[in-house]
Amino acid sequence: EPEVTQTPSHQVTQMGQEVILRCVPISNHLYFYWYRQILGQKVEFLVSFYNNEISEKSEIFDDQFSVERPDGSNFTLKIRSTKLEDSAMYFCASSATGGGNQPQHFGDGTRLSIL
Amino acid sequence: GNSVTQMEGPVTLSEEAFLTINCTYTATGYPSLFWYVQYPGEGLQLLLKATKADDKGSNKGFEATYRKETTSFHLEKGSVQVSDSAVYFCALTLDTGRRALTFGSGTRLQVQP
């Protein structure tokens, strides 16, 4: 069964450094998403992406965050200048269409630790 | 706004016991409802879904019925196994406007042999 893959599985970064999290969505999917889960808290939506542009974003997704689909397969989340509070598990997801009844398929996540 | 409320965990059961994990929601509009499961060290996997009132989603022996009158989507399984030990998340999305998933806080299930 096709799956969403994320790399790396664990990223340790110094505060203030830039970090890029990578995702390969399912190949025929058109909508892509990033979520995060701070330890012990809910899974929170960050951003969705369709047709090479952001379709919606949450209040968490401020100017420090950006997303890109640099080629036909990768979907990346960049944090420009990391803060301690960015430490979390980051999940990428994709769906075939953007309909609300379409399930989103998740990767195994990248654990980001900011020191 | 939209929100999902789940029962607090952990839920600890013996093998073959009956499972219920409660989930209620608040939504503007008509949501689709989902249960996701997260096994230790893994990502979120879709367990089941229901997209309109009175629909029943089912998978791997788990069931949940979309109850519009009580705004609920409780997860049930008749006989749990040790391998069902995981964290279960209830979630919703809307067909119009925001398509992002809104998650509950998750309920950890521990099944003992």
pLDDT in tens, A42-70: 899 999 999 899 999 999 999 999 999 98
End-to-end CA distance of chain A: 37
- Measured in angstroms, the CA of B62 and the nearest CA of chain A are apart by 17
Higher pLDDT, B99 or A70: A70
pLDDT for the residue numbered A40 = 82
Residue found under tokens 């997860």: B75
Taking 80 as the threshold, does the pLDDT of residue B19 lie above it?
Answer: yes
Going by the DSSP 8-state scheme, the letter that residue A84 receives in this structure is: G
| A97 confidence band (pLDDT: 50, 70, 90) | confident
CA of A14 to nearest chain B CA: how many angstroms apart? Answer: 24
Look at residue B82 and give its three-state secondary structure: helix
In whole angstroms, what is the distance from residue A19 CA to residue A12 CA? 9
* Mean of per-residue pLDDT scores for chain B: 93
Q: β-strands B62-65, B86-94: how paired? A: unpaired
CB atoms within 10 A of CB A89: 18
Among the listed ranges A25-34, B62-71, B96-105, which one has the minimum average pLDDT value? B96-105
Give the mutation candidate from B101, B102, B107 for the A interface (greatest A CB count, under 10 A).
B101
**Mean pLDDT, residues B67-79 taken together:** 97
End-to-end CA distance of chain B: 41
Percentage of chain A with pLDDT > 70?
96
pLDDT-derived band of residue A100, with 50, 70 and 90 as boundaries?
low
The CA–CA distances, whole Å, from B44 to A79, B4, B40, B54, B106 equal 23, 17, 10, 25, 11
φ, ψ of residue A114 to 5 degrees: the values are -105, 125
What distance in Å separates the CA atoms of residue B49 and residue B89, rounded to the nearest whole number? 12
- Mean pLDDT (whole number) for B67-94: 95
Q: Is the pLDDT of residue B96 over 90?
A: no
Instruction: Tell me which amino acid residue A31 is.
Output: Y
pLDDT at A98 over 80: no
CB contact under 8 A, A106 and B101: no
A50 touches chain B (CB under 8 A): no
